[in-house]
Each structure stands twice: as C-alpha cells, then as structure tokens.
Amino acid sequence: MDIPISRQQAEKAIQWLKENFAPEMTTGVTGSAFTIDHLCGIACQESAYVWEDWLGVHSTETILAACVLDASGDVPGKSRSVFPKNTAAFREAYGPAFTDLLIEEANKMRKLRGMPPKKWVYKGYGIFQYDLQFVKKDQDFFEKKQWYEFDACMSRAVGELRGTWERVDKKYRNKPVSEKLRLAIKAYNGSGAAAEEYAENVLFYAQVASNI
C-alpha cells in the first residue's frame, strides 16, 4: 500500500486524536454507520503527514490552525479541475481581501514547515481537509477561519460521510455493511482508482485505530 504515514506514525497520531477529541468524535458519529476510528483514519490519510511531526512540539491550537494544505492548481505540475482552479480564479471570484487572508494562513503553515512564503491560495482546510470548492455554500468556514476549531472540521466531515452513506445504502442496500462503508468512504474522496486507494488507506488506519 502507498500510504502517507507509516503504522507507527499513525499510532502516534491516533493516540493524540483520541486523547484530545474522543468525546467530540463520539458525539459526531452517533447515529451514523461510522465510528471514531473512521474519523481517525481520514485524519491520518488527509493531514497527519504534516502534523504528526509537530506532536509534542506545537500546541493543539497551532496544529489545528496550520492544517492548510493542498496547493493544487498553483504548484507546478499539479492541476485542479474544480473551483477554484488556481489562486487567480479565487481572486477573481472573491476579491483581494479574502484571497489575501487565505494566502496569509497558508504562509503561516509554510513557515512552520520551514518553507518560504508563496502567493498561493491553498485548497484544503482543517484536520479532515474540507475542500475550498465548498466556499460557494459555506463561505464562513473559510472566511472566519473555522477550521481552527475541531468541532467545525468534524461536522463538515461527518456531514459529507452521512451523505455518501445515504447514497451508497440506497443504491447497494443488500451489500454487507463493511462493503457499503468502503464505498461510502471512497465516495467521500471521489471516484476512480485514486479514491479506491484512498478508501483502502482510511480503512487500514481505522483498523490501527481500533486497537488504540
């Protein structure tokens, strides 16, 4: 498997997640087909490759705030098909003030990682990486920096998961729950081979989490 962090790194990340956010995650998944282990798996897949190294070095607040990742559309060689395709497209749609706010947030993250500043709007926000395409229906999350708060990040992730589960369950009602969970997690990421790999990774990390 091509995974972003190793099992050992994942164990460290999951321990931190459960120590800090188990009650919130438990409340978030109540009444759904998902568990807090699935949420841990998504965080390991989406963002822990950056913040796992920061555990014990930076505060929880700093780590959550710095989960501004994915420069697709601006970084050379990494295109993007959905809105915003790049920083210029975002600036045209939302103006300089909002654009510069997001650039500033991205550069805070880059500084923590020892990287020089860029004039790029990043596309993934929060520990579960809520995509900037959702700015069209959820502008406050991005403009008011709501990804700084774990609950705000979790509510978006769980909302998406509930939606994908509903669609999968309706289409594949007779499939086993384990298979529907895999399909729902795959749909959470998209479609095709990359989304299939995404689901396998998340389920691998969720299995690791189940033993912690």
Q: What is the pLDDT of residues 188-206, one digit of tens each?
A: 999 899 999 999 999 999 9
Q: Phi, psi (5° rounding) for residue 49?
A: -60, -20
- Answer yes or no: is 199 within a domain: yes
pLDDT at 2: 86
Residues 208, 48: contact at Cβ < 8 Å?
no
- Answer yes or no: is 122 within a domain: no
Reply yes or no on whether the pLDDT at 1 is more than 70. no
- Answer yes or no: is 130 within a domain: no
Nearest to 34 by CA among 208, 193, 203, 212: 203
- Answer yes or no: is 34 within a domain: yes
Output the pTM of the full model: 0.96
Strand partners, 131: 124
- Answer yes or no: is 110 within a domain: no
Three-class SS string for 43-75?
Answer: HHHHCHHHHHHHECCECHHHHHHCCEECCCCCC
Q: What is the pLDDT of residues 45-82, one digit of tens each?
A: 999 999 999 999 999 999 999 999 999 999 999 999 99
State how many domains the chain has.
1
Q: What mean pLDDT is predicted for residues 102-112?
A: 98
- Answer yes or no: is 40 within a domain: yes
Q: What is the pLDDT of residues 109-146, one digit of tens each?
A: 999 999 999 999 999 999 999 999 999 999 999 999 99
- Answer yes or no: is 12 within a domain: yes
- Answer yes or no: is 35 within a domain: yes
**In which domain, by residue range, is 40 found?**
7-57+151-209
d(CA 136, CA 140): 10
Reply yes or no on whether the pLDDT at 207 is more than 70. yes
